[in-house]
Structure 1
Amino acid sequence: MKKILIVTLLLITFISGSNGENILKDDFTNVNEWTYIADNVMGGISDGGVEFNLVDSNVYALLSGHVSTENNGGFIQIRRELKNIDLSKAKSIRVYARGNNEKYYIFLRTTGTILPWQYYSHEFTVNEEYNEFIMPIKDFKKSGMLLANQINPKKITSVGIVAYGRDHYAELYVKELEFLE
C-alpha cells in the first residue's frame, strides 16, 4: 500500500509538472502593459497596429498590418516590459494564437541586449485555429554574435510578439502569453 501511494504521488508530481508551473500569465486584460512598435522608429515604412478585443469574456490582442522591408525596415510588434518580474525559474514560453497561416516570432530582450536591434527570437507558424505553442527559452536564437549564446531567464527585460523579416500582411490573434517553470 505504501508503494502504491509513493508511485501515485510521483506520477501526480510528474504529470502536473510536465506542463510547467505558471510564473507569469498575460491574458491582455491590462492593455496598458503592451506597447505597439514598428520599424518607422528606424526609417522603415511598415504600417500596422494592435487592437485588444473582448470575445466571450476573453480578451485577445490582434497584431495586424503591412510589414515592408523597404528602407531597411521589416517589422511590427507589441512589446511588454518585464524588468520588475522575477523570471529566474522560467524554462519556456507558452502562447495561444491563431492567424493567417504566416510565421511570427517571440522576441526576448535581456540586460545584455543593449542595442535596439539586438534580441533573441523563436518562430511559430499559425493557422486559422487557436493553437498552443510552447517555446523553450534555451531554443531562442540570438540576433548577433555579440550576444550570449543562451538566455539567462533572470536577465529577461521584455517580451515582444512580432511580425518580422519579409514583405507580408500580418494578422495575428493572441489570447495568452505565459512564462512557465
Structure 2
Amino acid sequence: MQLDPDWEYVADGVMGGVSQGRASKAEIAGRAAMRLTGQVSLENNGGFVQMAFDLGDGSFDASAWDGIELQVYGNDEEYDLRVRTDELERPWHSFRADFIAPPKWTTIRIPFTAFEPHRTDKSFDPARLRRIGVLAIGREFEADVAVATVSFYTE
C-alpha cells in the first residue's frame, strides 16, 4: 500500500539545538521526491534534522503488512527511519531502525520487527502507528537524502 505523505520539516531547534536544514520537493535522477538536506550539529545538545508525516488524525492499523518500504536516494550516509504510535507520550519516545541511502535509487525494506524502542518501555505495535519520519541524527554530518515513495509491504 503506497502512502501519500504530507511531509513536514523538524529540527533540533525545538530543543535548543542549532542544526540547519530543510525538506523540499525535488526531481532527482528522473524521479519526483521529497528531499531532506542540512547540516547536523551537536552544539547546544542538538543533533538532528528530520522530515516526517502523520498517518491521519489518530492511529493507523498497519498490522496487515510486514513493514515499511522506501525508495531512497542519498549520499551514502546512515539515516534513521522513526515511527511513533499513539501509545507514546513524549516527543523523544519512538521506535527506530537505521538504513544507508546510497547515491542511486534504491528500495529499502524495513520489517516492523526491526524497529527498536527508543527512550520508552513500550513495545512496537503496528496496529497503533501514528507518524513516520526520516532523520539525519546523532553525529555531525551533511544530510542529503531523498524519498520518492513510502509504502507498507508484505512478504
2:81 to 85, 88, 106: 106
Q: Does 1:79 align with 2:56?
A: no
User: What number of residue pairs does the alignment pair up?
Assistant: 152
Q: Does 1:137 align with 2:112?
A: yes
Query: Distance in 1 between the 2:13 and 2:53 partners?
Result: 19
Aligned-residue RMSD, C-alpha: 1.8
2:17 to 24, 44, 52: 44
Q: Does 1:117 align with 2:92?
A: yes
1:84 is displaced (CA, Å) by 5.3
Query: Distance in 2 between the 1:101 and 1:57 partners?
Result: 19
Q: Are residues 55 and 105 of structure 1, via their aligned partners in 2, closer, same or farther at CA, if it must alter by over 3 Å?
A: closer
Structure 1 unaligned regions, length at least 5:
1-21
Indicate conservation of the 8 Å contact 1:102/1:126, yes or no: yes
Give the structure-1-normalised TM-score: 0.78
Q: Are residues 49 and 57 of structure 1, via their aligned partners in 2, closer, same or farther at CA, if it must alter by over 3 Å?
A: same
Indicate conservation of the 8 Å contact 1:113/1:119, yes or no: yes
1:58 is displaced (CA, Å) by 3.9
More strand, by proportion: 2
CA deviation vs aligned residue, 1:85-143 (integer Å, no higher than 9, x gap): 43232321111111111000110011122111111001001221111111011110111
1:59 to 16, 32, 42: 32
Is the partner of 2:81 in helix, strand or coil?
strand
More helix, by proportion: 1
Q: Which amino acid aligns with 2:106?
A: N
Q: Select the structure of larger CA radius of gyration.
A: 1
Is the partner of 2:127 in helix, strand or coil?
helix
Indicate conservation of the 8 Å contact 1:113/1:147, yes or no: no
Give the structure-2-normalised TM-score: 0.90
Indicate conservation of the 8 Å contact 1:112/1:147, yes or no: no
